[in-house]
Amino acid sequence: MATTDRQATTLALAHALSAAERGLAVIPLSRTKLPALRSPHRDDPEPRPCHGECGRLGHGVYDASTDPARIRELFAAAPWATGYGIACGLPPHHLIGVDLDTKTGTDSSTALRELALRHLFTIPDTVVVLTPSGGRHLWLTGPADVAVPNSAGRLAPGIDIRGAGGYLVGPGSRTDHGAYTTAPGTAHLAPAACPPALLRLLLPPPRPVHPATHPSAGDHGQGLVQFVLAAHEGQRNTRLFWAACRAYENGIGPALVAPLVDAALNTGLTEREARATIASAARMTGHRP
């Protein structure tokens, strides 16, 4: 290995360990910004979904850890790594990354400002990472009971979201195009809470639903109840949170608590989980649970 690559790997490991001390789970990345370790199942004749249950390394973001010994093991297995990725959506920060790209003809910063004006939110002071191409990554945190999905350009052209199952390239990483650095004046900050109005934009919109029959729901409430009933495993809390936010915003939150709890129970959540998520939605929309 060239001396410069060895130095880059040593620096990447040091930055990764520092991030882990802040509670951020990390994985080694190659110069292409991809996970440095290849999947152990790549040559399987019939690969099956595996998130690390097999006990081997190479499962991308599912390898992410805050344990120094584990991180050293990951980097030892990938001595060509020159950067590190920070897993989003994991406790304690439940990180959400807002990636403002600089593609030709795209002004993502202006697009974000227009969204903020239209939906009445302000981006708080938070960690900002500068990319080699001139883009920016804004670090925000989300509620523990909500899984923000990854998306590319859904909010606006040039704005990508890194949520559950995604990762951000950490500051101090080196890639084929240059280094990622923390913007001046933001390195000492903790990731700020995602504004509620922006968080609602990041959650998936409801799909068309069939009418419900719950007598206390009303037409709009029936649709929200059905939206929760259609949830699959992995999206139950997110759908319930989204529906409860819409209910409180439309003034039917208190009346819809019982129908939403019933719907959540039907999807497999416990009553305690359902009521906690609805209470969180009430607080996020400025209402008393």
Q: What domain range includes position 166?
A: 92-198
Average pLDDT, the chain: 88
Tens of pLDDT, residue by residue over 54-106, are 889 999 999 999 999 999 999 999 999 999 999 999 999 999 999 999 876 67
The reply to whether 187 and 103 lie within a common domain is yes
pLDDT band at 206 (very low <50, low <70, confident <90, very high): low
- The Cα 83–Cα 36 span in angstroms is 9
Rounded (to 5) percent helix, strand, coil in the chain: 35, 15, 50
The reply to whether 102 and 187 lie within a common domain is yes
pLDDT of residue 212: 42
- Inside any domain, residue 237: yes
> Which of 271, 268, 269, 238 has its CA nearest to residue 257?
271
* Structure-token pair, residue 188: 């000492």
Q: Which of 165, 198, 231 is the last residue of a domain?
A: 198
- Work out how many domains the chain is built from and give that number: 3
The reply to whether 193 and 128 lie within a common domain is yes
- Inside any domain, residue 289: no
Read off the pLDDT of each residue in 184-210 and give the average, rounded to a whole number: 83
- Inside any domain, residue 40: yes
Read off the pLDDT of each residue in 244-260 and give the average, rounded to a whole number: 88
* CATH number of 169's domain: 3.30.2250.10
Q: Which of 30, 53, 87 is the last residue of a domain?
A: 87
The reply to whether 279 and 187 lie within a common domain is no
DSSP state of 33: S
The reply to whether 56 and 123 lie within a common domain is no
- Inside any domain, residue 211: no
Q: Which of 198, 230, 256 is the last residue of a domain?
A: 198
> Which of 23, 2, 26 has its CA nearest to residue 173?
26
> The whole model's pTM is what?
0.74
- Model confidence at 146: pLDDT above 80: yes
> Which of 70, 84, 76 has its CA nearest to residue 19?
84
pLDDT of residue 215: 43
Read off the pLDDT of each residue in 200-213 and give the average, rounded to a whole number: 62
- Inside any domain, residue 208: no
